[in-house]
């Protein structure tokens, strides 16, 4: 390779890096899917907007024609971003208010707002609707730990073990919450 070619190649690499940084800095790629970053949540939008999975962009909440799954996923992302009341407001727009997933995320956001007993009520309704839904059992166990009921949390851990074994994320997360109760 000639010195001239190597210098040109290095310059191209630097130019490509600068171009990439410029594009990222402008937000042209936003919202970036959280799944692409190794997370299992939907991106969050500014208040008054929701993330539409179909169009892969934020749209105005009023008039958005979203599925209940889309609504639940977005509410979960809001809750993970500590926007709990917004999550509850979004969940209120779901057509099926008795969906185990809607009930679970309603319980999660409510619990995170400090209304633990109310959250437990939603979790129990979700468990009744789908006893094999491991995620709700994880969150229910965490809520029981906040109430000082490690016995009930361990019951949920046993239920998770029967649903997905000891290798699933829900099992590990609840096991950790039981071992370190201050985490909540």
pLDDT of the chain, 184 residues: tens digit per residue = 444 434 444 444 443 443 333 333 433 333 333 322 234 567 777 777 777 777 787 767 665 678 889 889 889 989 999 999 999 999 999 999 999 999 999 999 999 999 999 999 999 999 999 999 999 999 999 999 999 999 999 999 999 999 999 999 999 999 999 999 654 4
In the three-class reduction of DSSP (H, G, I as helix; E, B as strand; rest coil), residue 42 is classed as coil
b or e along 20-44 (b: 16 or more beta carbons within 10 Å of the residue's beta carbon)?
eeeeeeeeeeeeeebeeeeeebbbb
Pick from 79, 100, 80: which is nearest to 88 by CA? Answer: 79
Q: What are phi and psi of 71, to 5 degrees?
A: -60, -45
Strand-pair partners of 60: 49
pTM: 0.69
Q: Determine the Cα–Cα distance for residues 59 and 57; give it in Å rounded to an integer.
A: 6
């Amino acid at each position: 390779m000639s010195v001239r070619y190597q210098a040109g190649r290095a310059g191209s690499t630097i130019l490509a890096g600068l171009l990439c940084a410029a594009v990222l800095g402008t937000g042209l790629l936003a919202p970036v899917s959280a799944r692409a970053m190794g997370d299992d949540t939907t991106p969050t939008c500014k208040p008054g907007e929701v993330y539409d999975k179909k169009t892969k962009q934020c749209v105005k909440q009023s008039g958005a024609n979203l599925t209940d799954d889309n609504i639940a996923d977005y509410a979960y992302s809001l809750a993970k971003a500590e926007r709990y009341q917004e999550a509850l407001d979004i969940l209120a727009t779901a057509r099926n208010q008795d969906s185990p997933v809607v009930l679970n995320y309603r319980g999660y956001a409510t619990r995170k707002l400090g209304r633990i007993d109310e959250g437990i009520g939603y979790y129990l309704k979700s468990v009744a609707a789908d006893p094999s839904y491991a995620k709700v059992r994880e969150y229910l166990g965490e809520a029981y730990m906040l109430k000082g009921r490690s016995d009930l949390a361990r019951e949920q851990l046993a239920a998770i073990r029967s649903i997905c074994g000891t290798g699933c994320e829900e099992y590990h997360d609840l096991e950790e919450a039981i071992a370190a109760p201050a985490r909540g």
